[in-house]
Structure 1
Amino acid sequence: MSIIQVSPGEIATVGKDPKATVKANIPRFMPIGAAGMNYQARIDGIDMAAILRSLSSNATWLFWTLVQLSCRFNNQAELTSKTLTKYEKHKVTKGYKELLAKDLVKRYKREHYIINPKALLPEFDNFEDIWKIWNALTPATLKKPPNHLFRSPSNLVGLA
């Protein structure tokens, strides 16, 4: 921090040094959704703490497995059945039904999932694009989602 003295009639201009960087001494983190409304954006959040407490063990296991596998830029995850045991495949079957019913996860093609961007918040700049994709995946389109959702670079294709 510098202190300068400006005399009457002089003009001082203050700007940010482009070479200066701020380093935060915190580990990488992952935000999950919270209840309430962002009144500036007029979008309602979901209470993930309450939802996570209410999930069965199968749904909890599947949700956190998908979170670990997901891309933080597009909330998409690929869960390959080849790597799963018979017991884990059973957990996926049971857990997915519950996560879909609670509107947390949607499977848009075999072994490919997208996590609700209100549940697991993606990168700030990508939220709107992911939210549009999430809303376009209705029960009718989940059986055969439109290819354009996952082919356009503006829609943040990662795993599709």
Structure 2
Amino acid sequence: MLSPGDTLSDFTLEGVDENGEINTFTLSELTDDAVAVLNVYVYDYSPVCTDQVCDISELEWLGINEDVNVVGISGDGPYSHQQFIEDNRIGYPLLCDTAEEIIEELGVLHEEKDGLRRVPQRSIFLIDSDRVVRWKWVAEDNWDEWDSGPIEALNDTISQIRA
């Protein structure tokens, strides 16, 4: 699992922007003159993930801070993401890691309890302009209720980076 101080490889993934358009997104472009928040979640429309994705979308710093780029990452495809963005008014792009390569490099790909399927572990990573992990949060259990505590810690870390 990547930890603060580790460097994430550059990547390009297909995804859907907040307007519902399918595009490609590259980490080095997201971190060019900004920090990137990678919000990893299990599935579009799963109840806990929907809460997490929507809560992050509703944060004020998304719209007013040009030096923070937020993306969601899951194994879902672009058409699921398009509908999820439309239904929930998500204000940031959702990326499609259908091959689970980035999720695996982050170290948050794990087997479900039944051992039949590998899924992303809900997590949030803050990546700086050198693609270095500056902060991370990983849910102990994917189905634990979401609370905004990690977002408060993330905001504190972003403030420290800006200082």
Shared topology, TM-score over 0.5?
no
**Structure in which a larger fraction of residues adopt helix:** 1
State which structure, 1 or 2, has the greater radius of gyration over its C-alpha atoms.
1
TM-score by length of 2: 0.31
**Structure in which a larger fraction of residues adopt strand:** 2
Greater relative contact order, per chain length (Cα 8 Å cut-off, separation 6+): 2
TM-score by length of 1: 0.32
